Amino acid sequence: MAAINVTDDDFDGVIGSSDVPVVVDFWAEWCGPCKQMSPHIEAVSDELDGKVKVAKINVDENPIAPSKYGVRGLPTLVMFKDGKVAATHLGAMSKQAIADWIKQSV
């Protein structure tokens, strides 16, 4: 399943209602490493469909969620389990590194 786009308005609902862990990609249009990582995020989302849900949130258009979860740099990946932060990773990663980080964090 492709990564879903979330906003400040539906963020808590998507995270809280999920029966599987949710990985959120905090990104911005101007962020080069974010653009570089985007296809990897989509590929991992497809590969791990059913095991995790992957969501993306544009921090420029949605400033509340990044502020709430202390996002200070981009790209940042945050793993939520049962609506709570379980793991955080700052910086770009390869497709394999993303998949490994998710598997270690789940």
Q: Which residue has the tokens 């963020």?
A: 11
> Is there a catalytic annotation at residue 31?
yes
> Is there a catalytic annotation at residue 34?
yes
Q: What is the pLDDT of residue 45?
A: 96
For every one of its 106 residues, what pLDDT tens digit does the chain have, with 9 covering 90 and above? 789 999 999 999 999 999 999 999 999 999 999 999 999 999 999 999 999 999 999 999 999 999 999 999 999 999 999 999 999 999 999 999 999 999 999 8
Q: What are phi and psi of 36, to 5 degrees?
A: -65, -40
Task: Kindly report the CATH number assigned to the domain that includes residue 50.
Answer: 3.40.30.10
Q: What is the pLDDT of residue 106?
A: 87
Check if the beta carbon of residue 27 is closer than 8 Å to that of residue 74.
yes
Report the alpha-carbon distance of residue 52 to residue 44 in Å, rounded.
Answer: 10
55 three-state secondary structure: strand
Residue numbers of the domain that contains 18: 4-105
Q: How many domains does the chain have?
A: 1
- Residue in 15, 22, 24, 31 annotated catalytic: 31
Q: Which residue has the tokens 């599987």?
A: 20
Q: What is the pLDDT of residue 1?
A: 79
User: Is the overall model pTM greater than 0.85, yes or no?
Assistant: yes
Report the alpha-carbon distance of residue 36 to residue 38 in Å, rounded.
Answer: 6
